[in-house]
Amino acid sequence: MVGSQPLSSAGLQAGWSDMGLLMNIVLGIVGAAIASAILSVFGIALGGWIGYLITGFIGACLLIWIVRAIRGRTA
């Protein structure tokens, strides 16, 4: 399971203002799982704490970006 560091890093990069903390955490966890699955399809295996950090960060940022693109910004 992915730790909380990628989630908080991705949330800080994406910004907390548009979505709540809980939504960012959920999107971070789901995004990290999706990124890990996609990378494994291409034969890329990132192991260890640093690998999980990178995968979680990339996946969370991408998923938060996709959700914002679909929902649209309300600011």
Q: Tens digit of pLDDT for each residue in 19-71?
A: 677 887 787 788 888 888 888 898 887 778 888 888 888 888 888 888 888 87
Q: State how many domains the chain has.
A: 1
Q: How confident is the model at residue 4 (pLDDT cuts 50, 70, 90)?
A: very low
Q: Is this prediction's pTM over 0.75?
A: no
Range of the domain at 55: 4-71
Cβ atoms within 10 Å, residue 68 = 16
Tell me, letter by letter, the H, E, C secondary structure of the chain: CCCHHHHHHHHHHHCCCCCCHHHHHHHHHHHHHHHHHHHHHCCCCCCHHHHHHHHHHHHHHHHHHHHHHHHCCCC
